Amino acid sequence: MHRFFEQLRILEERLVEMGGTVRLSIQKSIRCLVERNEDFAHQVIQTENLVNQLEIQIDDLAVTLIVLNQPVATDVRLIIAALKINTDLERTGDLAVNIAQRALALIQEPPLEPDVPIPRIAGRVQEMVENSISAFIQRDPDEARRVLLADDEVDRLRTSLYEDLARRMEGDGHAVRRALGTMTIVRNLERIADHATNIAEDVIFVVRGIDVQRRKESR
Amino acid sequence: MHRFFEQLRILEERLVEMGGTVRLSIQKSIRCLVERNEDFAHQVIQTENLVNQLEIQIDDLAVTLIVLNQPVATDVRLIIAALKINTDLERTGDLAVNIAQRALALIQEPPLEPDVPIPRIAGRVQEMVENSISAFIQRDPDEARRVLLADDEVDRLRTSLYEDLARRMEGDGHAVRRALGTMTIVRNLERIADHATNIAEDVIFVVRGIDVQRRKESR
């Protein structure tokens, strides 16, 4: 049983590492756009391989945990949650690459103001990714619920920015391509926020299961 | 061991049921748009609950499979693949609901031609969902690879339709909102195609693992 928790801790450390990596990728993809600096985008694209390797490592650790320890149902659910988080983080990494590629194209053209809200949305989304993983490591449903609230804020910011961009397009045909490119970046940020939300929902679900189990055991 | 494969068969039947359900939801969400009939969209929205219940059932079946049978690594990987497919199908169901909601809004306005390619893209995407699950049930990497090829075709169709819509927006400010709504529907179809692609990639990965294992055992 001691060995099980030791191995679980290693798996969790890998998840934290992966979370930190994709969080940095989000940040760099947006810096490429805002600072109009291609280097950041290339760094993001180079990270994709590392993220894919981490995903495979984490999947392997989970299989080993199950096969060697024959865990009880509660622990199997915990491992399954870790696997789902793993998939969400890998796809988050892909979305950061999408943003980086789109940013590379956009900075070839004159900037389309206002793109001020984008760093703000990106900052909230990065926090959501970080906090959703932290909620899992701490088994903290309250932190997970704060991630769900942050998602509502991201949705509001996105809706308002979309409305601005749609009006720009209606008034100026020359702005259409750049506004569509900006929308694509915002949409990718929104999808990352959805992945963080999925992680937070998994945390709430799995912690509830652990609590139910503990109550049964303490009877 | 007999019981393990019996339980695995039940889990696979549920995945097929879920796949059929979300495939029908995709079809109905597009019929709402094309036939300008709200009933189809409401049917899709009502199905969301059933899809969520199927997801929980399949997760539970997977936990039971692991806890009661203490499966070997190859079988654990098979169960993990089933769980990932489960998540992809649940999110596909959510995306069909997104399409239905957007279609409900779009049919309140005069149609924006050409939306002819949308049923064609939707048809390909439905096939991808069906074939990716079939590839898993049959452990057939060739069928999985055909899903990956179909995804390339969906990407081409989408790129061409986006180009048409962007030109429409550049030329006519009054078309912007409807063109954006149409893009949203196509983008949701593309995301469903991505989920089918994820399933197909999982199938290729897990079947390769089974083959490697069988070669080891036959030595």
pLDDT digits (tens, 9 = 90+) for A198-212: 999 999 999 988 777
Residue A181 · residue A102 · CB < 8 Å: yes
Considering only the beta carbons, identify the residue of B64, B73, B83 that sits closest to A67: B73
pTM listed for this prediction: 0.93
For A72, the closest chain B residue by CA position comes to B67
Which of B58, B75, B77, B191 should one mutate to test binding to chain A, selecting the residue with the greatest count of A CBs within 10 A? B77
Considering only the beta carbons, identify the residue of B67, B87, B169 that sits closest to A169: B169
CB pairs under 8 A between A and B: 58
pLDDT digits (tens, 9 = 90+) for A109-167: 988 876 568 999 999 999 999 999 999 999 999 999 999 999 999 999 999 999 999 99
pLDDT reported for residue A215? 77
Provide φ and ψ at B2, rounded to 5°. Answer: -55, -45
pLDDT reported for residue B216? 74
DSSP B181-210: HHHHHHHHHHHHHHHHHHHHHHHHHHHHHH
* Contact criterion met (CB < 8 Å) for A180 and B166: yes
CA-based nearest distance B122→chain A, Å: 21
Taking CA atoms, A119 is separated from A30, A111, A124, A128, B185, in Å, by 7, 15, 9, 14, 27
- Tell me the ipTM for this assembly: 0.91
Q: What secondary structure letter does DSSP report for A174?
A: G
pLDDT reported for residue B219? 66
Chain B within 8 Å of A59 (Cβ-Cβ)?
A: yes
For the four alpha carbons of A144, A146, A151 and A154, in that order, the dihedral sign comes to negative
Considering only the beta carbons, identify the residue of A64, A77, A171 that sits closest to B63: A77
- Which residue, B54, B25, B23, is CA-closest to B41? B25
